[in-house]
Each structure stands twice: as C-alpha cells, then as structure tokens.
Amino acid sequence: MTVISVIVGSTREGRFSEKPAKWILQHLKMRERVDARLLDLRDFPMPFFDQVATPATPGRPAFAHEVVQKWTAAIAQSDGFVFITPEYNFGPSAVLKNAIDWVYPEWNRKAIGFVSMAWGQYGNRVGVPSILKLLAKHSVPATFYVPAVCALLYPDEQRRIIAEGHEIGIHSWIHELNSVLPYEAEKDLMTRATDVLEKTTKVRPVGAHGVLGFLAAYAADHQGGRPALRFLADGRRQLLRQLLRAALGWRANRRHRISGGMDPRRRGLFHDAPVPGPASLYAAVGCVRCVPARVRGGL
C-alpha cells in the first residue's frame, strides 16, 4: 500500500483548509492500493524550531520533544503528501513552515503536491508570478488550467505562461459548476473557452480540468490534424471513477452510461461522431489530458 498523507497546514480558529483537506482525503480513499491519512497540525502542537543541530545534521540524536517524534514518525511512514496551506503575507503559514523544518531525511525523495488558498485578487499580482519564478528556477515545465474569463481579464499572464515553456488547458468559462449544466450549455461554454484561450495565446489548449474536481463533459481529441472537442456521455461524475472504469473494463449500470472496455467508439463513452483510434488513450489511467503533461508518467 502507498501511504499518502494530507497535511492540514493551518491551526487558526475558523480555518477553511480542513474542508478541501477532507474532500481530497475522501477521494484518495476511493483509490485502490492507497492508504490515505489526514495529518492535522492541530494534533501536532510542536514548539518553534530552536535546536542547535538541524534535522539534516548527520548522526544527530533524535529530537527529545515527544510531539516532534510523533510528527517525524508520521512523515517517515508516508510515501507522498498533499499540503493544504493558506497564503499569509505571500507565503505559507508559519505553523506549516515550522512543521516542515523539524524534519529532513523523512521528506527526501517523496512526491509532494500543494493546494494553496488565498484571496482571488492576489492570484494575478503575486501567485502566478511566484509560481513561474519557482518553476523557472528548477527548470520544471507545468500545465496551467485557466478559466476563459481569466484569459480575457489577464491576457498578458497567459502569454507569459506560454512564452516560458508551459502549457495551458481549459478550466471552464467563468468557473461555473459544470456538473449542474445542461449538456448543450456546457458544450457551448467549453467551445467558447477553447476559442478564447487559443485566440489569446495563439496556441490550442492541451486539455481540460473540471471545476471542483469533476471531469467536465468533454475530452480533447484530434481529428483531421485539428484538435476538436468530444464530449463525454456523463460529465457529472468524478475523473477517477471514469478513468478506472474505462481503463479496467469494468461495467457500470446504464444510468452512468459507461460499459465495456478500452474502445470508447463502440461503447457509448462519447456523444458525438466516431472518435479516431488514438482517443482510446484518453480512457487509460495516466494517459488523459486532464492530468498535467509532465506528471502523467508518475501516476
């Protein structure tokens, strides 16, 4: 079993971070061969780091603080992490930074993902430039999923993303809840979003990511050398369930409108006309455009 720990990086009263943390934990627990755990920093009241020897010091004795030992053991038992952190003064919370500082070798060579929360006005002014700077420092290409309205409001931001070697994908029109939209309305919004992103960046979007973790009712495909939109039969279900059922050939009931194996052309997975053979790749775990291109191989 792979142990993935979701770390709640805020301890303040009235915090919001526990809500996305519990949502992510719930979806991790749906995956086979994953032992999902919640590490709430409220349960690890560690003092601010004040030791003479740093955690990276070779041969140092274990830190004596009981809670620090408990925290270190939890990190050592984990194979990967998802940090849920607020943004305080252009950075992570102090309690999360302190928790990270108490440990060193137990973090090494493990996958880490971040979910950061802040007031929306700081995204364009501070958030995106900071992320681009960090990615450039470590030569890491990435995929940014952008609502079309954000591209209309901040076109230079999208052009900078492309100019610095990254990809842009669709993330709705204005962050509408696609799970409650009629099919035709969703199709219209996604088509318009695709056109706006392409017109703004001069590059066709590479794929799509649904709002609130739901897979929107579309999948990118190529036909006649030009990317087109092919809409999934059920846009109201989660990405994980769709991929697992399609890739593993499981059969769902008719209400969910997915049955059979790997070829969506013959199984009603898509609404529209027959899809070219390569589209079956979109039904395979780890080969879907909803996942950032540079991390698909690590799933």
Check pLDDT > 90 for residue 161: yes
pLDDT tens across 141-152, in order? 888 889 999 999
Q: Which domains does the chain have, with CATH numbers?
A: 1-118 (3.40.50.360), 143-299 (3.20.20)
The pLDDT tens digits of the residues spanning 239-252 come to 444 444 444 443 33
What burial letters (b/e) apply to 245-275, b meaning 16+ CB within 10 Å? bbbeeeebeeeeebbbeeebeebebbbeeeb
pTM here? Answer: 0.53
Band the pLDDT of 121: cuts 50, 70, 90.
Answer: low
The answer to whether the Cα torsion of 221, 153, 119, 126 is positive or negative is positive
Q: Which two tokens stand for residue 113?
A: 């993902």
- What residue type is assigned to position 53 of the chain? A
pLDDT of residue 128: 83
| Arithmetic mean of pLDDT, 280-284 | 30
**What pLDDT does residue 107 have?**
95
What residues pair up with 35 in beta bridges, in sequence order? Answer: 3
d(CA 71, CA 76): 9
- Tens digit of pLDDT for each residue in 16-33? 999 999 999 999 999 999
